[in-house]
Amino acid sequence: MKAIALTQHLPINHPESLRDVELAQPLALGRDLLVKIEAISVNPVDTKVRGAQGPDEAAPRVLGWDAAGTVVAVGPEASLFQVGDTVYYAGSITRAGANSEFHLVDERIAGRKPASLDFAHAAALPLTSITAWEALFDRLAIRRDGAHAGKSLLIIGGAGGVGSIAIQLAKQLAGLRVVATASRAESAQWCRALGADDIVDHNGDMPAQLAALGLANVDYVLCLSDTDPHFDAIAQVIAPQGSVCSIVSNTAPLPMEKLFGKSVKFVWEMMFTRSMFGTPDMIEQHHLLNQIGVLVDGGQLRTTLGENFGKINAANLRRAHEALEARRTIGKIVLSGF
């Protein structure tokens, strides 16, 4: 089968950073699905794994943790899907990625593709939807039934993939007042179109901008960018007994004592945790993706595809990685078809 892989961890402008290769088609065992890949999306995790310092790979390593496709075989223990079903998922970072014609995924972390979306638009959703859902509803413990309606949420990095979903979930399901950060006119417009009530610039004085909106504090902060440069502002604006969630780990310890006086809860969200550790509740991501599909098909949630870079090949994937590393993207970059 065709695949795009790396053997060395190289800068994206190096022609060997991602290569077109031929690999053996895998076999579905256990609870695996073998999926014919129709479309993929690219995330910052792809660029981080590709650019990480480390030795050469012993065998070609395939990246890619967002996919949509058709089930062509199921493992002997699989029961949630049948051959011919269309699925979408993010997969597991501990296994080969989905930048290949065929791909194995545990059925417990795959969902039914929204019927109203084509494969490209569906592929834009899984990783960011899981991350946003888990961050808001599992980590920050925001209620989906509107019990916390009217409370305020600051989303740092609103126009990115996760922010684009988090804005919608926070408005549509939780009824929060959503303040999203954006530094450009086009990204601010994108956030407002998704439902953000207010926009502040994360490159400016966020506490002052929030105060100008009548918000001395916010009840929740969801940090989707590097945590360290924003931590002082977060500590200043978070309400006493508020909650902060970040999805970006730090290379140095954060000054957590700045949150002590306010008794603030700080939590991390890592959407690969369940699949990495084979947690007993792995199947929650299957249920989650199915719920996202219902919301999409019901018109409550929209896909966040920003741009389609064309066919799935090394040249187009290198362009996608380069765009993500420039940090100027809005929504998700998708590739479709081989």
pLDDT of residue 296: 97
pLDDT of residue 58: 87
Contact 87, 110 (CB under 8 A): yes
Cα–Cα distances in angstroms (integers) from residue 238 to residues 37, 181, 257, 261, in the given order: 42, 15, 14, 11
Phi, psi angle pair for 152, to nearest 5°: -105, 145
pLDDT of residue 69: 98
pLDDT of residue 53: 81
Residue 257 CB neighbours (<10 A): 8
Kindly report the three-state secondary structure assignment for every residue of the chain.
Answer: CEEEEECCCCCCCCCCCCEEEECCCCCCCCCEEEEEEEEEEECHHHHHHHHCCCCCCCCCEECCCCEEEEEEEECCCCCCCCCCCEEEECCCCCCCCCCECEEEEEHHHEEECCCCCCHHHHHCCHHHHHHHHHHHHHHCCCCCCCCCCCCEEEEECCCCHHHHHHHHHHHHHHCCEEEEECCCHHHHHHHHHHCCCEEECCCCCHHHHHHHCCCCCEEEEEECCCCHHHHHHHHHHEEEEEEEEECCCCCCCCCHHHHCCCCCEEEECCCCHHHHHCCCCCCHHHHHHHHHHHHHHCCCCCCCEEEECCCCCHHHHHHHHHHHHCCCCCCEEEEECC
pLDDT of residue 329: 83
pLDDT of residue 56: 87
User: If you search the block for the tokens 């808001």, which residue do you land on?
Assistant: 136
Burial 20-34 (b: 16+ CB within 10 A, else e): ebebeebebeebbbb
| Tens-binned pLDDT, residue by residue, of the chain (338 aa) | 999 999 999 999 999 999 999 999 999 999 999 999 999 999 999 999 998 888 888 899 999 999 999 999 999 999 999 999 999 999 999 999 999 999 999 999 999 999 999 999 999 999 999 999 999 999 999 999 999 999 999 999 999 899 999 999 999 999 999 999 999 999 999 999 999 999 999 999 999 999 999 999 999 999 998 899 999 999 999 999 999 999 998 778 899 999 999 999 999 999 999 999 999 999 999 999 999 999 999 999 999 998 999 999 999 999 999 999 988 788 899 999 99
Cα–Cα distances in angstroms (integers) from residue 41 to residues 46, 90, 310, 322, in the given order: 10, 9, 11, 14
pLDDT of residue 315: 97
pLDDT of residue 331: 87
pLDDT of residue 250: 79
Per the confidence metrics, is the pTM higher than 0.85?
A: yes
Q: How would you class 241 by CB atoms within 10 Å of its CB: exposed for 0-12, middle for 13-18, buried for 19 or more? A: exposed
